[in-house]
């Protein structure tokens, strides 16, 4: 009986020892440098896209300003022509 009790205690101790072990989690620090490269590339692409958009907006603003200046000149000429026509009609 002592042998069976000793054997049962030994089996229980081995079972508790085997079930209590945990595996080490892999270190995520190794993946961080690999993820940094795509982030840097994406940031560079975003900066280039922002520069391109800024120059496109600047070009569009310049074109719009030119169009407004042209329209203002045309309106001034039309007003001057109308004033001259009114003055001429008033003289007759």
- Number of domains the chain is built from: 1
Distance, in Å, from the CA atom of 25 to the CA atom of 34, rounded to the nearest integer, reads: 19
pLDDT tens profile 13-38 = 777 777 766 667 666 655 555 666 67
Whether residue 61 lies inside any domain: the answer is: yes
Say if 22 falls within a structural domain. no
In a domain, 83, yes or no: yes
Question: What pLDDT does 30 receive?
Answer: 56
The answer as to whether 52 is a domain residue is: yes
Range of the domain at 56: 44-91
- Inside any domain, residue 4: no
Q: Is residue 50 part of a domain?
A: yes
Q: In Å, how far are 22, 53, 65 from 60, measured between CA atoms?
A: 64, 10, 9
pTM beyond cutoff 0.75: no
Q: What is the pLDDT of residues 55-81, one digit of tens each?
A: 888 888 888 888 888 888 888 888 888
């Amino acid at each position: 009986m002592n042998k069976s009790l000793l054997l049962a205690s030994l089996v229980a101790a081995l079972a508790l020892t085997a079930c209590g072990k945990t595996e080490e989690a892999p270190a995520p620090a190794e993946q961080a440098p690999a993820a940094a490269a795509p982030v840097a590339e994406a940031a560079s692409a975003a900066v280039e896209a922002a520069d391109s958009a800024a120059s496109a907006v600047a070009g569009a603003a310049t074109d719009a300003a030119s169009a407004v200046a042209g329209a203002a000149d045309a309106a001034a000429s039309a007003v001057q022509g109308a004033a001259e026509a009114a003055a001429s009609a008033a003289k007759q």
